[in-house]
Amino acid sequence: MNGKRILLGVSGSISAYKSALLVRLLVKAGADVQVIMTESAQEFITPLTLATLSKRPVLSAFVNDKNGSWNNHVELGLWADLLIIAPASAHTLSRCAHGFCDDLLSAVYLSAKCPVFFAPAMDLDMYRHATTVENLHRLESFGNHIIRAAHGELASGLVGEGRLAEPEDIMHVLTDYFTQDAQTRVLAGKQVLVTAGPTQEAIDPVRFISNHSSGKMGYAIARTFAQAGAHVTLVSGPTGLPVPHPTVRRVDVRSARDMFEASQDAFVNSEIIILSAAVADYTPVHVAAQKIKKKEPQFSLELTKTTDIAATLGSQKRPGQWLMGFALETNNERENALKKLHTKQLDWIVLNSLRDQGAGFGHDTNKITVIDKDEEIHEFALKTKDDVARDLVNLIAKKLSA
């Protein structure tokens, strides 16, 4: 943290008193801290306290009342190495998620060129409310980082999630981020191909065969590579997810054949290939031109194998190309994963088990085991998919650095 320029946004929450402890820890670690407070935050902790600890005047308005000087939100956004809003109230989360900038803090957020972290704090029911959950997802989809609220006793007397993460825990997250950033510098400028989401295999004009993949894991991986400075092509099956990062080039596909052809095109110039998509193994031999009517009590569908993308690209892999595949298993997990690793000539296989709670399709979390071609095993705990993506990217960066 030494020498890092940190913008600390403080919004209206009873937990704003913890921002004083966070400022102290940041300054002690050698960071240059500029505090920006919302008007409501000043009802919970005084600007004088935070100004004294940060050794800088606290900013809260576009115009300084004392001397009429302009607090330039654009310059502040360019100055910072990192912006963290802690505590981030429900109101501030909503304002940032939807682009309102009627105060200095939200204007600085919209101007920020640096990584942005939100540490929410609010009462249990507010934190669980669908609008807050949606706003947090929306902010994450923009490439921001969320430091989840902690579980414990709240100011209301309720017990549950909603407490601001402890300042020491926030410091660990920020320190880890800058450490990881240094580790992943080797990825800057690398050409990366990521596949994500499901495929849809048409039966007729209105029906298809598919699976439960949401695409969240692949999109998190694409975003993490892009944040590390890589040039990312994301070949995506049908999902409801936005482009994960402004620099990511997304290629939308539907069927397994579409995904194979798009992946083959991008593979030629790619140095790192991450095949996280859940591609259909079989597709109908015949696709009806008209909707199939329900007539007979039984209906048979003839299927044929699709092209194995991982095996095909593995056989074409050149020196200097690195290939990571995924294996979602329900039984004999490691045995099946090792077989895929070697037969498809992968450098890594990422194993998920549907027997692990919170892993697999449909979750915002994942639990993985990574096995490399030398059969070295890397096990990871259950984490958010963004954190899993960082683990995978760091693993690849470490290999490339070596």
211 in catalytic set: yes
281 is in an annotated binding site: yes
391 is in an annotated binding site: no
Q: Phi/psi zone of residue 189: left (φ > 0), alpha (ψ -120 to 50 degrees), beta? A: left
Report the DSSP beta bridge partners of residue 83.
7, 116
Pairing relationship of beta strands 116-120 and 82-88 according to DSSP bridges: parallel
Measured between alpha carbons, how far is residue 159 from residues 95, 97, 162 in Å? 27, 27, 9
In a 3-state reduction of DSSP, which class is residue 150? Answer: strand
291 is in an annotated binding site: yes
Q: Based on C-alpha coordinates, what's the Rg of the chain?
A: 24
State the helix-helix crossing angle for 90-97 and 130-141, rounded to 10 degrees.
50
340 is in an annotated binding site: yes
Q: Are 144 and 117 in contact (CB under 8 A)?
A: yes
308 is in an annotated binding site: no
Return the DSSP state at 184.
G
Catalytic residue among 72, 211, 336, 394: 211
Q: CA-CA distance, 287 to 103, in Å (whole number)?
A: 56
Sign of CA dihedral 224, 386, 258, 348: positive
Q: CA-CA distance, 338 to 369, in Å (whole number)?
A: 11
| Token digits of residue 195 | 């596949």
SS3 for 10-68 is ECCCHHHHHHHHHHHHHHHCCCEEEEEECCHHHHCCCHHHHHHHHCCCCECCCECCCCC
Binding residues: 281, 291, 326, 340, 344
Binding residues for CTP: 281, 291, 326, 340, 344
Give the residue numbers annotated as catalytic, written as ranges: 211
